Structure 1
Amino acid sequence: MFPFILFLFIAVPIIEIGLFIQVGGFLGLWPTIGLVLITAFVGASLVRSQGLQTLLTMQQRLQDGELPAQQILEGVLLAVAGVLLLTPGFLTDLMGMVVLLPGPRALLARKLMDKVSVQGNFQQPFGPGEHETSHHRGNTYEGEFDRKDNHDKHDKLN
């Protein structure tokens, strides 16, 4: 994994520099800088709107009692897309826009979920009629009590 990341840290800036030279030679300096700034602002607003939509979907799945694993991973991918879009460059903008689109993002999230296995001791929340025990959480206190109503208090006062 480390050699791949090292390759990306070397290759991506070289490709970006080449693209800047090509686009700058075609459009000129200021239009190229303007294009980079526009993609950053548009990308940031799109990440925000897509993030809110993903958050709403996640909340709906939680209310339905489902684990929103797909939406959580899509939220992480949206954060990655935001970083890519805010990074100056045309290649990173292209990659960020692809991740930003709902179809490719969902496909990428499903592929990543297939590669990841989750291990652990997960328990369902308490359903109707089920009670929490001390090994789940909290403390158990034992004791006795007597229930007295208002008539008992009134009789003892007279």
Structure 2
Amino acid sequence: VHFFDSFCVDITERLRDVSPQALDSFCHTLVGAQARKRKVIVAGNGGSAAIASHVSVDLTKAAGVRAVSFNESDLITCFANDYGYQHWLAKAIEAYGDAGDVAVLISSSGQSPNIVNAAHCARDRDLTVLTLSGFDTNNPLRALGHQNLWVNSRSYNIVET
């Protein structure tokens, strides 16, 4: 079986596992942020950072939701240098996040220290935390989310799709 054929089968099977109610709840939370004039912060590492950038632009352009991602190299390198990589995103949320905002945090494994620390910070600052993760059902990021979309896969490319 070719990679692409197998990939498509895996994606189709994993989509069946995603709760329509959870997806609907995510959408309502994002629309609610717009209605309350709050912003949405979307963040991840690597491929998840690329997803975060794309989602934030789509939310702003297509849905009229004020959304940002923290993918500027100057912000990342400054905060990572000064606070350590595991804390840079939490520090960015401290600087830019306001109570009532929404943080959408993406980590395929749900165990990335900087993403987990950002979730703690966001909760402490009264942001609503939405998570996108996979791998273990009881991963640390999922435990911190007010709402969670979890993909039943241990494959990064499946979870990130």
When normalised by structure 1's length, the TM-score is: 0.23
* Larger RCO of the pair (alpha carbons < 8 Å, separation 6+): 2
Larger CA Rg, structure 1 vs 2: 1
More helix by share: 1
